[in-house]
């Protein structure tokens, strides 16, 4: 049985912290699922992590569905939530509903995530009424990076903080089953978490959220270049992989790989027959 949105709510109700991680392919999904991860996010951050875009803005619905299908095949127990990419839900309700439905029908996800609060509450309400579970996302909303002027902490002024509190309440009232709080001061994320009954999942928003989400590649030290302050590095697999690849290249160049144990052999009688045939054709 997969983890359901009801299971996630029960975790908040009993004070059990919720771990969530991104996964973008079959292999990583299988690994985190086997490790007991209750919820996996197929984030549109795959645009930057997997496809090399500068932001999440260029990510398409087809790309999200492609990666979601792979993750669903790899995860047998975890709840899989998939991001609705930029401009797949903002234009009108009908388009938003169609695209959310595609992530469930074609991608196989169990729920969708979208960015926005008060302004998207009606869209969330319509999706939930149609049977589509929705996770909200407020604070730093990467799809709005051009409007925000970069990846910056949100809610630092009284006015901005009040707006985020209103966003959280609006999403809860609209029927969202959880809310991601991204890069919000920890005091504010604590207030939001205490004032809504649904789970909050933090990233760069402190320890008071009901859960935390991290990017798989950041977690394992596979990210090159700048690492966000909120990223947790639990291993340095990038260095391990680099060393392994260098040794492989060296072995191939040096003629020490492959060896006989990496090869497939003919039976002696087949070798003898082929040798005899070769002699006859001389």
Domain spans of the chain, in order of start: 5-235, 240-280
| Separation CA 127–CA 132 (nearest Å) | 5
Question: What residue has token string 């439905």?
Answer: 101
Number of DSSP helices (H) and strands (E) in the chain, helices first = 12, 8
Query: What is the per-residue pLDDT for 234?
Result: 96
Residues 63/46, Cβ–Cβ less than 8 Å: yes
- The pLDDT tens digits of the residues spanning 162-209 come to 999 999 999 999 999 999 999 999 999 999 999 999 999 999 999 999
> pLDDT class for 148, splitting at 50, 70, 90?
low
* Full DSSP string of 11-64: HHHTT--EEEEE--SHHHHHHHHHTT-SEEEE-TTHHHHTS--SSSTT--HHHH
Q: How far is CA 129 from the centre of its chain?
A: 25
Q: Is the pLDDT of residue 86 over 90?
A: yes
> pLDDT class for 133, splitting at 50, 70, 90?
very high
Looking at every residue in the chain, the average pLDDT score rounds to 95
Residue 26's CB is within 10 A of a number of other CB atoms, namely: 16
Q: What is the mean pLDDT of residues 113-123?
A: 97
Counted residue by residue, the chain has a size of 282
Class of domain 5-235: alpha beta
Closest CA to 80 of 47, 113, 51, 48: 113
> pLDDT class for 211, splitting at 50, 70, 90?
very high
Which residues are tagged catalytic?
A: 182
Q: Is 75 helix (H, G, I), strand (E, B) or coil?
A: coil
């Amino acid at each position: 049985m997969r983890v359901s949105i009801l299971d996630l709510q029960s975790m908040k109700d009993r004070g059990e912290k919720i771990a969530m991680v991104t996964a973008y392919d079959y292999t990583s999904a299988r690994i985190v699922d086997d490790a007991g991860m209750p919820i996996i996010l197929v984030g549109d951050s795959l645009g930057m992590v997997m496809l090399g875009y500068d932001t999440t803005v260029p990510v398409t619905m087809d790309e999200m569905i492609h990666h979601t299908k792979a993750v669903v095949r790899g995860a047998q127990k975890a709840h899989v939530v998939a991001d609705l990419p930029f401009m797949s839900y903002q234009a009108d309700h009908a388009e938003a509903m169609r695209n959310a439905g595609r992530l469930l029908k074609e991608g196989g996800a169990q729920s969708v995530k979208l960015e926005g609060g008060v302004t998207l509450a009606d869209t969330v309400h319509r999706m939930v009424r149609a049977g589509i579970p929705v996770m909200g996302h407020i604070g730093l909303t990467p799809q709005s990076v051009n409007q925000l002027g970069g990846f910056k902490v949100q809610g630092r002024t009284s006015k901005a903080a009040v707006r985020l509190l209103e966003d959280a309440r609006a999403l809860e009232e609209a029927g969202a089953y959880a809310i991601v709080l991204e890069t919000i001061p920890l005091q504010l994320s604590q207030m939001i978490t205490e004032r809504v009954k649904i789970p909050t999942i933090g990233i760069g928003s402190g320890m008071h959220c009901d859960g935390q989400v991290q990017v798989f590649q950041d977690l394992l030290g596979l990210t090159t270049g700048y690492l966000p302050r909120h990223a947790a590095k639990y291993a340095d697999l990038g260095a391990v992989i680099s060393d392994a690849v260098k040794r492989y290249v060296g072995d191939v160049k040096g003629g020490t790989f492959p060896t006989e144990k990496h090869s497939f052999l003919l039976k002696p009688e087949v070798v003898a027959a082929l040798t005899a045939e070769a002699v006859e054709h001389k």
